[in-house]
Structure 1
Amino acid sequence: MLCIARAQHFDFDASRKKLSIPFRFVRNSVIVPVNINGKGPYNFILDSGVGLMLITQPNLVDSLNIDYKRLVKIPGLGDGDDAQAYITGQIDVKIAGTQGYGISAAILKTDNLNLSGFVGMPIHGLIGYEFFNNLVVQINLADTTLNIYRPKDINRIRKKGDRIPMVIEEKKPYIFTKVTLPDGSSSLNKLLVDLGAGHALSLDYLIQKKGMPDKFIAANLGVGLNGPITGFIARAKQLDLGTYKIHYPLTSFPDGNNTNIRPSIPRDGNIGMEILKRFKITFDYSGNAVYLKKAAKFREPFEHDMTGIEYYASGPGLQHVIISRVEPGSSGYEIGLERGDEIVSVNFKPVYRMSLEEIDNIFKSKHERTVLLEIYHSGKAEMVVLTLRRRI
């Protein structure tokens, strides 16, 4: 195991004890600059839920002069066939002052994820285990900075936070913790600590074991390597994280139609960025621990979209916002919004001057708030009034 860990890892100048790397935080994604084979920087999402660097833009193969060894199938969640990817030989990878050693990657044959459309800016891939396995990585969302240390220098980090034991299995980090459901029942759960998941909490297979909580909504939970992930959203009563208690987090419950293959490592679900962003997070893979220190947003309520519409960025410069789904019975559905409609402006502000995150924040801002949308529908523009309605 140690040989594998050393085979693919990152390090920085031996004369330094600490390295600070700025990042962008957009739509619950930590985005770092990555240079590959002397070109870039490219935008990669830091994702502790991936065990192999993943390049999601197939056109980078030619521009980076990457040699690949073979075509493989990648199983995973989603309502579709297995994704296909090319496995590369060793490539030269740098992340803002760090150097990768022995790094290889998988390059998607087709960009099934459309991360650029989801985030609203060009995204070229995901990087996880290789960046964490040889370093201590502290993620400070207050100043959007990664503070990087070597494991031998972890004691230099003041106020690391509450230590939670963590196990690394097949290059992914897991913790064991208690989840309490609305009916008061609780259980110890094995959860993946997943920086790449935008949601708060996801509990796999619980529908099959216990059924759904009384109050829930149907939802598209995201996109996996094999297509859309469908299911439901409800609220757990409480999640314990060390000494911290997370009350009424929004919780995703994937339905049984998504699982073409169960994870090779049995687990009960994952903790995503909607919870993790409420902490300063320090990952210490070699010490089998994650440290959490309460941040300013710790007590912010968990709110879900109040429109029932899902959307993505598209077109030149990702400046067009297209509706991909409308939940039946939602306020968006009731005013006639449809898949394929384009949102042109929100409260008279053109969407090309807004980020998707700004739109998200408006759409989950306040129950009974009215929002004026300009929509391009059936070949013509029209103004509609949308009333936000809390659904869960």
Structure 2
Amino acid sequence: MVKKPTYILVILTFVTCCCFAQPGGFINNGKHSERIAFQLINDLIIFPMEVNGVPLSFVLDTGVQKSIVFNFTNEEEETAKLKEKERIILRGLGGGQSVEAYKSFNNVFKIGDLVKPNQALHVIHNSNLDFTPRLGVPVHGIVGYDLFKDLIVEINYSRQFLRFTDLNYYEKNVCRNCEVIPLEFHNNKPYIKTSVKINGNVIPVKLLIDSGGSDALWLFEDANQDIVCGDFYFDDFLGFGLNGSVYGKRSKIDAFYIGDFELKNPNVAFPELSYVASAISIEGRNGSLAGNILKRFNVIFDYNNAELIIKKNNHFKDKFQYNKSGLELAHDGFHLVRTRENIVSIGNSSRGTNNSIDGTRIIVNPWYKVTLQPIYKIVELREDSPAARAGLQKGDIILSINGKSTQHFSLQELLARFYDDAGTTIRLHVLRHGEEFNAKFKLENLFKIKKP
């Protein structure tokens, strides 16, 4: 008998999902606690986790209810031996079509000595959902509520480690400088009630805690609550939803408050409401609190007692930066690059280029080296941005920046150059359809340009 497809609503910042959880989990080290290192890429937590014995990398996303894999190779999927599959249709943020997937039951997740059996997993075969090129490191999927519901989860952003602790062995010890924030849950996702200051007005808001989002804040415009974007903003690509790209406005607000902490002039994204209609349907929700603010604290999630414990860390006073170039890059594989190097020797030779100094023959022999270098391609380009006005286009490949080959940069190091101070000059050597050329522009403070 063929099962009818199940339709599940998926709400994403990077990607997020709504389903039902499976119980269970134990730690096999006698300490009832497991610590594991993570990478912080674009303010996202990327950590290793095995699925049925297959080592993969996941984004830890408090905004998701059920785990999703979207970058399974055929070999990895075969090795994982996923069973009991049920076809489903997923819908989410973005302007594209729904995505076909399947749901697999009774899988085993393993993180270090932490084992969680009987886990459901949603598998999507859609190359458009491969985040690896955008992040520059392998990412196979996202996981959230399945880890948080049965454990105390500590995220130490300053030292980049996760600690999972058995509920029965957790000793709560709130430090003097910590804040305890009550949590509310809708569809097993954590929300907080806090406030923002916009145009001098302090406004109460209800926000999803979304560690799977790279921005600081997302706010849904609502004139009835005075949640509005001011005159100083720019239109931009905000990120990926399950059903495609999400666009909106980027701006700043006066302040954001969480507990007794105040963060002044944080960045905020106002997504176009048509892209986030499913997210707005959550009663009372005004937006999301995401990674660029969360990373300024070391946090402990205690879902069992509906509490979030935060303590500011060494990132607390980091500037709220943004991409001032107008272009976004992705890692698009590798290419072979042939470079010439000259080997200089002294003596007699019938080959090479010869010069004579004081009777000594200097022999210069050309030698060609072929290296495998990363391809960094422009995948988003904002209209009337500094990069666009310099003549750059989507699909252009960046070969060097300010005279230094891009082979010496990771994707994140390269992108960081576009977050420098306004007025910084950027010189790019670019490849387009086999032709090389140079482009030059200056980074701009886009929040000083008043919109008409």
Q: TM-score range by the shorter chain?
A: over 0.9
Tell me the equivalent position of 1:191.
207
> Contact between 1:170 and 1:265, CA under 8 Å: does it hold in 2?
no
Distance 1:94 1:45 in 2: 15
Q: Deviations over 1:60-118 (max 9, x none)?
A: 43342212522211121101112221100211210122101220110113133221011
The change in CA–CA distance for 1:220 and 1:68 in structure 2 (over 3 A counts) is farther
Aligned to 1:280: 298
CA positional deviation for 1:209: 6.7
**Which residue is 1:16 aligned to?**
31
SS in 2 for 1:112: helix
2 CA distance for matches of 1:8 and 1:358? 40
Counterpart secondary structure, 2:292: helix
Count of residues paired in the alignment: 387
Alignment of structure 1 residues 174-253 onto 2, 5 Å: 174-181=191-198, 183-206=199-222, 211-253=228-270
CA distance in 2, matches of 1:207, 1:307: 31
For 2:117, the equivalent position in structure 1 comes to 101
How far did residue 243 of structure 1 move? 0.6
1:107–1:34: structure 2 CA closer, same or farther, 3 Å change rule? Answer: same
Matches within 5 A, 1:208-357: 211-259=228-276, 261-262=278-279, 265-266=282-283, 267-316=285-334, 319-357=374-412
Q: 1:330 and 1:376 mapped to 2: Cα distance?
A: 20
Single out whichever of 313-322 and 270-279 deviates more from structure 2: 313-322
- Which piece of structure 1 moves more, 125-134 or 380-389? 380-389
The answer to whether the Cα contact below 8 Å between 1:76 and 1:260 also exists between their aligned partners in 2 is no
Q: Is contact 2:101-2:123 (8 Å) kept?
A: yes
Query: How far does the alpha carbon of each residue in 1:296-329 deviate from its partner, in whole angstroms, 9 at most, with x for none?
Result: 1111110111101112111249921111122122
Q: Which of 91, 94, 101 is the equivalent residue of 1:78?
A: 94
380-389 vs 294-303, which deviates more? Answer: 380-389
Q: Distance in 2 between matches of 1:327 and 1:167?
A: 37
TM-score normalised by length of structure 2: 0.81
Please name the residue that 1:57 is paired with: 71
**What residue number does 1:119 align with?**
135
Pick the aligned partner of 1:360 from 411, 415, 420: 415
Residue 416 of structure 2: SS of its match in structure 1?
helix
5+ residue gaps, structure 1: none
Question: Quick check: 1:207–1:255 contact (8 Å CA) kept in 2?
Answer: no
Taking structure 1 as the reference length, the TM-score comes to 0.93
Q: Kindly tell me: are residues 96 and 153 of structure 1, through their superposed partners in 2, closer, same or farther at Cα, counting changes over 3 Å?
A: same
| Structure 2 Cα separation of the partners of residues 208 and 113 of structure 1 | 36
Q: Which range moves more in the overlay, 44-53 or 134-143?
A: 134-143
Q: Choose 1 or 2 for highest CA Rg.
A: 2
Change (3 A) 1:264 1:75: farther
SS of equivalent to 1:319: strand
Of 61, 77, 97, 1:47 maps to: 61
Specify which of 115, 135, 140 is matched with residue 156 of structure 2: 140
Residue aligned with 2:127, SS? coil
Letter in structure 1 aligned against 2:245: P
- Gapped regions of structure 2 (runs ≥ 5): 1-18, 335-371, 448-452
- Structure 1 residue 254 displacement after superposition: 0.6
- Partners of 1:17 and 1:318 in 2: how far apart? 44
Q: Tell me if the contact between 1:207 and 1:253 (Cα under 8 Å) persists in the aligned partners.
A: no
Instruction: Provide the alpha-carbon RMSD of the alignment.
Output: 2.2
* Matches of 1:162 and 1:294, distance apart in 2: 9
Bigger strand share: 2
Retained in 2: the 8 A contact 1:47–1:127?
Answer: yes
